[in-house]
């Protein structure tokens, strides 16, 4: 997948760049143009699973038939969009985690980066947070796969941090899953709140995550004693 | 709101009960018939926010114009549906909590009841779990309001249980919110998994909840010592 998709500076509106695609003309459209067109159409009141091929083609300035040169159907485009959104999110949070050093600053630093990106109108991130559990099976599997990648990276991080501090977390995989699901669920609602509420949300989330880590640590200690 | 909506035995398909609503005929349709019609139309691949007034009227066997005698617009119907779904869910889980006695059996008992209802094809419950954060502002506020009711009841329960056991949870409101968001997020994905996976999901969720409670308890103890 091309990582150079200009998400923060989307392609100009189709009116400015008519991509006429009649017989005899070479189509200039690429997959990224169609993904960018879909991103412009979706938003707080519009889910990716409700987009029609015709609409996306119109937004991209091509004939509906030309769509098929890039994607088999709308479902394949939706899956590509989710994959791209998941990649983008993992890169952002991964960078934040690498910069942080102690356990507490990792949590807070990652959450703050996350909220900054949310407010920077990163539409790929919005897609990842807003899209619920309605859509085709392929689409839902794509969302789930991205969540699993995210959980696995977080789990590896938790194990690494615990080892560095000479402690052990009980079931780090479950801790990672709980954190991922919480951040996604609460992040999705944050999009509809005014930015003034962000600091309180980061506070709430880091509190919840600390409770989880504290509990996992206590249960890990008990487990080690019992063994 | 009428609590007698026959959710588990939905009204017969419109073909069997034509509710002709032409001039001079008395409309026999009530709000509950329109809600039941909407429930029949939505599902794993169809969100309530994508329903059109025309479709719901057709499914209920009435003319589109007659819709307005019951609801101002589709948004008002969607909000009524969410309110009904939230009430239903709180009643189910509330009953499970009242029956349980100890802390651990409350968690597991509530989760098991929750999964049973999920598998009993309770469409109101499915609506509550599936609908994400795409939809009108009124719709999103309705979802959020139901989550807050749920959190508040859980918070009161946590305080009561802690008092009975002579302990204190750190920030019971945040613990209740974390549990609610986790159960909703994980429950939403459970709908797409085979029922054989339910036991593992209940295990995972009760583990996560125990970590949260354990952490909140440890942090409550520290807080009390520091004070």
Task: Report pLDDT digits (tens) over A27-51.
Answer: 577 899 999 999 999 887 788 878 8
Tell whether ipTM is more than 0.85: no
Under 8 Å between Cβ of B17 and B62: no
User: Residue A126: which domain range?
Assistant: 81-226
Q: Of B71, B105, B120, at which residue does a domain stop? A: B71
Mean pLDDT of chain A: 81
Could you tell me if A97 and A191 lie in one domain? Answer: yes
As a whole number of angstroms, the distance between CA A2 and CA B120 comes to 44
What's the total number of domains in chain B? 2
Q: Is A181–B181 a contact, with Cβ atoms under 8 angstroms apart?
A: yes
Q: Are residues A100 and A60 in the same domain?
A: no
pLDDT of residue B189: 80
Neighbours of A50 (CB within 10 A): 18
In DSSP terms, B43 is beta-bridged to: B46
Q: Which of A83-92, B158-167, B210-219 has the highest mean pLDDT?
A: B210-219
Hey, are the CB atoms on A45 and B136 less than 8 Å from each other?
yes
If asked whether residues A133 and A44 sit together in one domain, one would say no
Verify whether the Cβ–Cβ distance A47 to B45 is below 8 Å. Answer: no
C-alpha triplet B87, B88, B92: angle, nearest 5°: 115
Rounded to whole angstroms, how far apart are CA atoms B14 and B11?
A: 8
CB contact under 8 A, B218 and A213: no
Tell if the CB–CB gap between B216 and A215 is shorter than 8 Å: yes
- CA A10 from chain centre, in angstroms, equals 18
pLDDT tens for B69-108 read: 999 999 999 999 989 988 888 887 777 777 665 555 778 8
CATH of the domain at A204: 1.10.357.10
**Does residue B189 sit in the same domain as residue B133?**
yes
If asked whether residues B40 and B103 sit together in one domain, one would say no
Q: Are residues B111 and B144 in the same domain?
A: yes
Which pLDDT belongs to residue A115?
85
Separation of CA A43 from chain center: 14
The answer to whether the CB atoms of A208 and B132 lie below 8 A apart is no
| Residue B40: pLDDT band with limits 50, 70, 90 | very high
pTM of the model: 0.80
For residue B20, the domain's CATH number is 1.10.10.60
User: Of A71, A91, A108, at which residue does a domain stop?
Assistant: A71
Query: Does residue B52 fall inside a structural domain?
Result: yes
The yes-or-no verdict on residue B190 having pLDDT over 70 is yes
pLDDT of residue B7: 41
- Residue A116 domain-assigned? yes
- Is A191 within the bounds of a domain? yes
At residue B77, the 3 state secondary structure works out as helix
Axis crossing angle, helix B74-99 with helix B31-41, rounded to the nearest 10: 80
Last residue of a domain, one of B53, B71, B89: B71
CB-CB: which of A46, A170, A184 is closest to B185? A184
The verdict on residue A105 lying in a domain is: yes
* Cα of B117 to nearest chain A Cα, Å: 18
Residue A63, classed as helix, strand or coil, is coil
Same domain? For B195 and B104 the reply is yes
Average pLDDT over residues B116-134: 76
Nearest beta carbon to residue A211 from set B133, B135, B219: B219
Residue A99 in any domain: the answer is yes
Q: Does residue A6 lie in a domain region? A: no
Ramachandran bin of A205, using left for φ above 0, alpha for ψ from -120 to 50, beta for the remaining angles = alpha
- What is the number of other CB atoms lying within 10 angstroms of the CB of residue B168? 16
Please compute the mean of the pLDDT values over residues A198-214 and round it to a whole number: 93
pLDDT of residue B13 exceeding 60, the answer is no
> Looking at the domain assignment, is residue B2 inside a domain?
no
Mean pLDDT of chain B: 81
Shared-domain flag, residues B138 and B96: yes
| Mean per-residue pLDDT, A58-74 | 94
Burial of B182 (0-12, 13-18, 19+ CB in 10 A): buried
Same domain assignment for residues A22 and A89: no
Quick one: average pLDDT of B210-214? 94
Residues A40 and A86 in one domain: no
Interface of B with A (CB under 8 A): 44-47, 49-50, 129-137, 140, 144, 170-171, 174-175, 177-178, 181-182, 184-186, 188-189, 191-192, 204, 207-208, 210-216, 218-219
Q: Encoding tokens for residue A132?
A: 């619920």
Q: How confident is the model at residue B28 (pLDDT cuts 50, 70, 90)?
A: confident
Same domain, B101 and B212: yes
**Max Cα distance, chain B (Å):** 76
Q: Are A4 and A87 in contact (CB under 8 A)?
A: no
Q: Judge if B64 and B97 occupy the same domain.
A: no
Residue B3 lies in a domain: no
């Amino acid at each position: 997948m091309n990582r150079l998709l200009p998400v923060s500076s989307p392609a100009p509106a189709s009116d400015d760049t008519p991509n006429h695609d009649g017989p005899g003309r070479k189509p200039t459209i690429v997959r990224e143009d169609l993904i960018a067109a879909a991103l412009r159409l979706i938003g707080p009141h519009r889910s990716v699973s409700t987009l029609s091929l015709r609409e996306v083609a119109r937004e991209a300035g091509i004939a509906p038939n030309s769509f098929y040169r890039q994607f088999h159907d709308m479902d394949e485009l939706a899956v590509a969009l989710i994959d791209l959104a998941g990649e983008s999110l993992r890169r952002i949070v991964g960078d934040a985690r690498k910069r942080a050093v102690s356990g507490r600053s990792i949590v807070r630093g990652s959450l703050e980066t996350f909220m900054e990106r949310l407010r920077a109108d990163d539409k790929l991130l919005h897609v990842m947070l807003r899209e619920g559990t309605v859509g085709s099976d392929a689409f839902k599997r794509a969302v789930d796969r991205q969540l699993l990648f995210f959980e696995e990276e977080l789990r590896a991080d938790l194990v690494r941090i615990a080892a560095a501090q000479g402690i052990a977390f009980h079931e780090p995989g479950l801790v990672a899953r709980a954190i991922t699901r919480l951040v996604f669920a609460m992040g999705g609602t944050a999009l509809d709140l005014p930015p003034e509420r962000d600091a309180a949300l980061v506070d709430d989330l880091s509190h919840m995550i600390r409770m989880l880590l504290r509990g996992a640590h206590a249960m890990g200690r008990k487990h080690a004693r019992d063994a």
